[in-house]
Amino acid sequence: MKKFVFAIAAALTVATASAQIGKAASEATDAAKHKIDQKRAESEAEKSGPVGKAVNNVKSGYHKKQSERSADKAKKAIKNAG
């Protein structure tokens, strides 16, 4: 009976760790997408007039913060998997 309980506990641990790693990968992907959008907005800001520059700078700041947030969430998910 003890072996069965330990086997179930081990299986749940592996499943949880696997889910956390999947979550970390998803968050890392989101961080990369936001980083790309940030660079795109910065590039558009350089080409734009004053209003477009302001709008694209706001977009760039938003995507920068979201990228940092997603990267932090990915790090936490990796920590929780271990």
The more confidently predicted of residues 16 and 22 is 22
Contact between 71 and 18 (Cβ < 8 Å):
no
The total number of structural domains in the chain stands at: 1
Q: What is the DSSP string of 45-62?
A: HHHS-HHHHHHHHHHHHH
Nearest to 57 by CA among 67, 48, 66, 68: 48
Q: What is the pLDDT of residues 45-77, one digit of tens each?
A: 999 999 999 999 999 999 999 999 999 998 888
The radius of gyration of the chain's CA atoms, rounded to the nearest angstrom, is: 20
Q: Is the pLDDT of residue 11 over 90?
A: no
Task: Provide the pLDDT confidence category of residue 23 given band limits of 50, 70 and 90.
Answer: confident
Dihedrals φ, ψ of 58, to 5°?
A: -65, -45
Q: What is the pLDDT of residues 34-48, one digit of tens each?
A: 999 999 999 999 999
Distance CA 9, CA 61 (A): 44
Range of the domain at 46: 2-81
